[in-house]
Amino acid sequence: MSEIFLLEWTFSPADYFEETIEFACDLGTIRVENGKAEARILPENYPADHSARNLLHAELDASFLGAQVLSHKAYTLTKPNLARLHPDGRKDAWVFAESATLAVSGSNVDFVLTGANGKVVRDTKRERIDARVKLSQLAARYITDPVADSVLRSYAAAVNDPRNELVHLYEVRDALSQHFGGQSTATSAVGVSAPQWSRLGQLANDEPFTQGRHRGKQLGSLRDASASELVEARAIARAMIEGYLLHLHNRTS
């Protein structure tokens, strides 16, 4: 066995990614499986100041943030334990006093559609996992971009603060508007339509929702947004976030 630095995380729900996933990162690969994640880093790639530990954690957390945009589930992710494994079996461990990262849960109904020849035409679980991994990898790659970080964390806030969900979802639109200098440039860059853009504004600003931005002006007529209205707002915000990450990807590829 070669000498390595081993970083280990725990997270919940344990099936957040539904199957074993491996994320490529700057220093190697992070493997995620059944509530645990680990990265094995060669000593020459692991600086003595433990900065690599923080970098890897930020990238893994960004992967969860990306997945959360599609799953709309809260998660917890611990900071990683660290050990140095020697070829002779010795193990040096470090202890860090840190709390977990706390980032509503839902359920999925899957189906597999097959054709007359028995071949799979559509597998909704496979589609969901593939889309989640794609967005997770984009999030991890571009989390250092201030706007990407902002919109991902606004969506996380929407998940964790449902009383103000529409406030946080609108923050996604607002961040993009400020970055691109207005609606027209923003919608073109991230690939959402003008009606979608306006609809999120209507849901967050104009409707008398208890989760909305201007509820103080509509006292006495407030109501909770319906499940379908919240699903609609989330879908628009997701499209904006994914569109922005793809915008970054296309610009740098």
Contact predicate 211/108, CB 8 Å: no
Distance CA 140, CA 124 (A): 24
Do 186 and 122 share a structural domain?
no
Do 184 and 105 belong together in one domain? no
In degrees and rounded to multiples of 5, residue 7 shows phi and psi of -110, 130
Model confidence at 104, in pLDDT bands (50, 70, 90)? Answer: very low
Reduced to 3 states (helix: H, G, I; strand: E, B; else coil), residue 25 is strand
pLDDT of residue 97: 56
Distance CA 18, CA 186 (A): 33
Mean pLDDT of the chain: 86
If we measure between CA atoms, which residue out of 86, 81, 89 comes closest to residue 11? 81
CA 186 – CA 163 distance, rounded (Å) = 27
Q: Is the separation of the CB atoms in 40 and 28 below 8 Å?
A: yes
Quick one: 51 and 138 in the same domain? yes
**Residue 8 near residue 81 (C-beta atoms within 8 A):** yes
Report, as an integer, the average pLDDT of 79-100.
Answer: 77
End-to-end CA distance of the chain: 37
Q: Are residues 157 and 62 in the same domain?
A: no
Nearest to 155 by CA among 137, 175, 141, 140: 175
Instruction: Answer yes or no: pTM beyond 0.85.
Output: no
Q: What percent of the chain has pLDDT over 70?
A: 86
Same domain, 57 and 34: yes
Same domain for 55 and 111? yes
pLDDT at 115 over 50: no
Range of the domain at 94: 1-142
Q: Among 120, 142, 164, which residue terminates a domain? A: 142
Token pair listed for 87: 């070829």
Residues 174, 81 within the same domain: no
Domain count for the chain, please give it.
2
* Alpha-carbon span 150 to 180, nearest angstrom: 14
Q: Which residues contact 187 (CB under 8 A, 6 or more apart)?
A: 193, 194, 196, 197
Pairwise CA distance, residues 50 & 54, whole Å: 7
Per-residue pLDDT averaged across 72-96, rounded? 86
Confidence of residue 120 (pLDDT cuts 50, 70, 90): low
